[in-house]
Each structure stands twice: as structure tokens, then as C-alpha cells.
């Protein structure tokens, strides 16, 4: 059996998150003050100032970790999990707009070592969530998810394996929520490359996209040839009827 004696990567990862969790506790404590006191009170002003100092310290910790541990897998995971903390005066719309533009700044989609990592999955899901508003109708939600997909998928095209992996991850997720117009958009906009290291995934993904193209409203149905009860061969294209079962 395998016995892990020591892991430098784990030590780096958990040492960083011990400090990260310390910052989160401090931010939570300051949030209580900022939500409880009026903005003209001294305790509020001091808490806001401390909040800014902590943000700068936390960003410094992250940037230094990236520099010192640039080639480690721990750094890659931390970059995927890193979430920006905003100053209290920044409203939700401003936060969302910023994140939509900068969410993947530190993610290298050409790095196939990220494939199958839980951190990558959560990063993609979290980005899609930025485009989901509670007030949206189903149609508005699907239109918004199309925009999100058109940000994520092109970023992965520098590596065929990553491209097909992310495409497959999105298609499977969207299918589970029956987001038909988003799936149809992906099927008609993106294709599976002809060469792929994972042929089984490529074939399954291509079949899923092709079948969706065929079944889309307004698309001409493929030719179907079969025999009737009298063993006479008939073609779907030869049937002249408003509806065919």
C-alpha cells in the first residue's frame, strides 16, 4: 500500500490557507461593524480603513506566493481558488462586472494538469453563476449563459485536450439543467477537433453535439428509409404531410 511520508506541495497549500483563513475571519469581523454602524461614526471609519489594509496585505500574500512557488501545483490550485475581496463601498453590480472581466486572469487553460481537478470545475461553475440573476426568466438566463460560455470556451482553444474537456464539462452540466438554447448555441458554434488524445471523449462529445444539431427546430431532418406493412420501401422525404409520426 502507498504511504505518503511527506508532501512539500501539501505543506505549501495548507500553510497558505491557514493564513488565508485568518484573513477571512478578520474580514467577517469587520463586516459586522460596517453593517451595524453608521458611516459617519468613528468605529466605522476605522473599520473601513482596516479593511483596505487587510485587502492589500492579502493580495501581497497571494502575489508573493505566486512568485516564490511559480512552478508548483499548489500555486495552480490556489490561483484557481483565489477570490478577490472588494472594498465595502463597491456595489454588487460593480463587483460582478469586474469579475466577469478578470475572473480567469490567473488561470492557464493550456495547462492540462488542471484537467479533472475539482478546483477547475468549481472555477467554471462560479463563473457561470456570475451570469445568473434571481430575477431572470428562463429565456434571459439562457441568453446570459450563452455569453458566459462564449467567454470560457474560446479561452481553452490553445490546447485541444483542455478545449474538449471543458466543452464536455459544460455540455454535460447544461444538459442536466435542460438549458436547450445554450446547448444549441454551443453545438452550432463550436466543433470537436479532428485529432484528440482522448478518442472516447471526443467521439461521445461529437455525437452529443451532432445529435443536437439534427434535433434543433427548423433544421431539416435526416433521411430515414424504412419498409411499410406491405414491405414497400418508403423515404421520409417522400411523405407529403403536415405531421409525420
Distance CA 106, CA 108 (A): 7
Distance CA 107, CA 158 (A): 13
| Structure-block grid coordinates of residue 218 | 427548423
- Average pLDDT, integer, range 75-84: 96
pLDDT above 70 covers what percent of the chain?
82
Q: Which residues does residue 227 pair with via DSSP β-bridges, in sequence order?
A: 233
Distance CA 104, CA 158 (A): 15
pTM: 0.80
Distance CA 162, CA 150 (A): 15
pLDDT grade for 6, boundaries at 50, 70 and 90: confident
- Average pLDDT, integer, range 145-149: 98
pLDDT single digits (tens) 94-105: 999 999 999 999
Q: Are 127 and 104 in contact (CB under 8 A)?
A: yes
pLDDT grade for 15, boundaries at 50, 70 and 90: very high
Both ends of the chain: CA-CA distance in Å?
59
Q: Is it the case that residue 200 has pLDDT exceeding 80?
A: no
Show the DSSP H helices in the chain as ranges.
Answer: 8-36, 42-68, 73-81, 92-102, 118-129, 138-155, 160-176, 180-189, 199-215
Amino acid at each position: 500500500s502507498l504511504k505518503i511520508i511527506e508532501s512539500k506541495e501539501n505543506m505549501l497549500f495548507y500553510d497558505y490557507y491557514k493564513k488565508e483563513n485568518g484573513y477571512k475571519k478578520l474580514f467577517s469581523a469587520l463586516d459586522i461593524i460596517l453593517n451595524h454602524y453608521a458611516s459617519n461614526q468613528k468605529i466605522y471609519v476605522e473599520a473601513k480603513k482596516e479593511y483596505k489594509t487587510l485587502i492589500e496585505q492579502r493580495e501581497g500574500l497571494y502575489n508573493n506566493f505566486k512568485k516564490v512557488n511559480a512552478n508548483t501545483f499548489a500555486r495552480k490550485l490556489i490561483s484557481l481558488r483565489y477570490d478577490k475581496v472588494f472594498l465595502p463601498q463597491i456595489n454588487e453590480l460593480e463587483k460582478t462586472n469586474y469579475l466577469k472581466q478578470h475572473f480567469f486572469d490567473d488561470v492557464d487553460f493550456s495547462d492540462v494538469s488542471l484537467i479533472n481537478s475539482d478546483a477547475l470545475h468549481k472555477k467554471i461553475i462560479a463563473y457561470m453563476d456570475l451570469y445568473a440573476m434571481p430575477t431572470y426568466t428562463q429565456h434571459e438566463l439562457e441568453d446570459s449563459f450563452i455569453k458566459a460560455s462564449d467567454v470560457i470556451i474560446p479561452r481553452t482553444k490553445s490546447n485541444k485536450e483542455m478545449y474538449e474537456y471543458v466543452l464536455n464539462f459544460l455540455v454535460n452540466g447544461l444538459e442536466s439543467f435542460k438549458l436547450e438554447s445554450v446547448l444549441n448555441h454551443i453545438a452550432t458554434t463550436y466543433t470537436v477537433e479532428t485529432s484528440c488524445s482522448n478518442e472516447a471523449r471526443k467521439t461521445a462529445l461529437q455525437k452529443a453535439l451532432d445529435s443536437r444539431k439534427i434535433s434543433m427546430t427548423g433544421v431539416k431532418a435526416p433521411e430515414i428509409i424504412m419498409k411499410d406493412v406491405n414491405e414497400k420501401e418508403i423515404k421520409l422525404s417522400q411523405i407529403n404531410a403536415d405531421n409525420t409520426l
